[in-house]
């Protein structure tokens, strides 16, 4: 019973209709729970949407808690470890704002209303219920080392070019942070034009920064695209293999029906 619950609430096989229905249902609940955040006024409909979503999120959290041993695979200890996992904490952040029942005339207590803004974190629950987003997340996980290298290279270049231009044109930049800001927008080839060097050396640094920025942006784009295509191919191959394995059984079942 608990194992079947785990298969339903977690991302299961494509052929598991119950799990797919649950994913779609949770996506609808998440989107509906965000609707009241788009309005400044409150009404009865928004109140009941919020409370209904809260109850459904609590049920979802409890189901994940009672099946934590299947998720973490550490036996009874899993039930103690699950509440401190990132996704479990995110679930609590989605639930707690709706549990705010404090109503008082004391102005100091109004600070608790800030907790309501945490409901926007509900949008991140969609990651768990989307296979496409899960696929993208796996690509970033596999390509994290090359992406980290590119990020470190870009950061180093920003700091160095900012240091160079700050010393070349101290009159154009009030402090080092402004130079870092300039280097960042120049590296991304955006160049807002609010801060810019006027000397020849400063402009040469700017041109080099812009050209280098094209390469820095192109590298992670190529890595992510290649990784996504590879992961998508693996995903399609796994689906084809699953269909082929189920093929003979379906053929045999069809033959028995004819007989």
User: How many structural domains is the chain composed of?
Assistant: 2
pLDDT of residue 250: 46
The CATH number of the domain holding residue 21 is 1.20.120.350
Instruction: Please indicate, yes or no, if residue 9 is contained in any of the structural domains.
Output: yes
Residues in CB range of 259: below 8 A, 6 or more apart = none
Q: What is the pLDDT of residues 169-184, one digit of tens each?
A: 888 888 888 888 888 8
Q: What range defines the domain where residue 231 resides?
A: 142-258
For residue 32, what are its two tokens? 């509906």
Same domain, yes or no: 55 and 91: yes
Terminal-residue alpha carbon distance, the chain: 35
Pick from 129, 164, 182: which residue ends a domain?
129
Instruction: Please indicate, yes or no, if residue 136 is contained in any of the structural domains.
Output: no
How large is the average pLDDT for residues 88-106?
Answer: 69
Same domain, yes or no: 82 and 151: no
Pick from 99, 129, 159: which residue ends a domain?
129
Q: What is the pLDDT of residues 127-153, one digit of tens each?
A: 666 667 777 777 888 888 888 888 888
Is 220's pLDDT higher than 50? yes
CA distances in angstroms from 2 to 26, 62, 83, 84, listed in the order given: 19, 12, 18, 21
Q: What is the pLDDT of residues 16-54, one digit of tens each?
A: 788 878 888 888 888 888 888 777 777 888 888 888 988
CB 161 within 8 A of CB 183: yes
Interhelix angle 131-142/144-168, rounded to 10 degrees, is 70
Instruction: Please indicate, yes or no, if residue 33 is contained in any of the structural domains.
Output: yes
Instruction: Please indicate, yes or no, if residue 156 is contained in any of the structural domains.
Output: yes
Instruction: Please indicate, yes or no, if residue 64 is contained in any of the structural domains.
Output: yes
Same domain, yes or no: 119 and 150: no
Instruction: Please indicate, yes or no, if residue 45 is contained in any of the structural domains.
Output: yes
Instruction: Please indicate, yes or no, if residue 80 is contained in any of the structural domains.
Output: yes
- Within a 10 A sphere around the Cβ of 75, how many other Cβ atoms? 8
Pick from 129, 161, 177: which residue ends a domain?
129
The CATH number of the domain holding residue 155 is 1.10.287.70
């Amino acid at each position: 019973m608990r194992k079947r619950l785990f298969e339903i609430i977690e991302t299961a096989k494509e052929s598991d209709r119950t799990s797919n229905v649950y994913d779609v249902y949770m996506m609808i609940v998440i989107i509906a729970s965000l609707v009241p955040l788009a309005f400044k006024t409150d009404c009865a409909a928004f109140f009941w949407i919020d409370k209904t979503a809260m109850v459904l999120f609590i049920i979802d959290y409890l189901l994940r808690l009672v099946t934590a041993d299947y998720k973490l695979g550490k036996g009874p200890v899993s039930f103690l470890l699950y509440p401190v996992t990132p996704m479990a904490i995110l679930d609590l952040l989605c639930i707690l704002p709706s549990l705010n029942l404090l109503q008082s005339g004391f102005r100091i207590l109004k600070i608790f209303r800030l907790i309501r803004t945490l409901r926007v974190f509900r949008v991140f629950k969609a990651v768990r219920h989307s296979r496409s987003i899960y696929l993208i997340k796996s690509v970033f996980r596999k390509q994290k080392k090359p992406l980290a290298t590119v990020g470190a290279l870009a950061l180093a270049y920003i700091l160095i070019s900012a240091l160079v231009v700050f010393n070349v044109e101290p009159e154009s930049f009030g402090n080092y942070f402004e130079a870092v800001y300039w280097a960042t927008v120049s590296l991304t080839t955006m160049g807002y034009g609010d801060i810019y060097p006027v000397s020849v050396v400063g402009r040469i640094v700017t041109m080099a920064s812009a050209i280098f920025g094209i390469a820095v942006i192109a590298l992670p784009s190529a890595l992510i695209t290649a990784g996504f295509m590879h992961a998508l191919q693996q995903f399609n191959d796994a689906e084809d293999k699953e269909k082929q394995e189920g093929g003979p059984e379906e053929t045999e079942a069809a033959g028995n029906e004819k007989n």
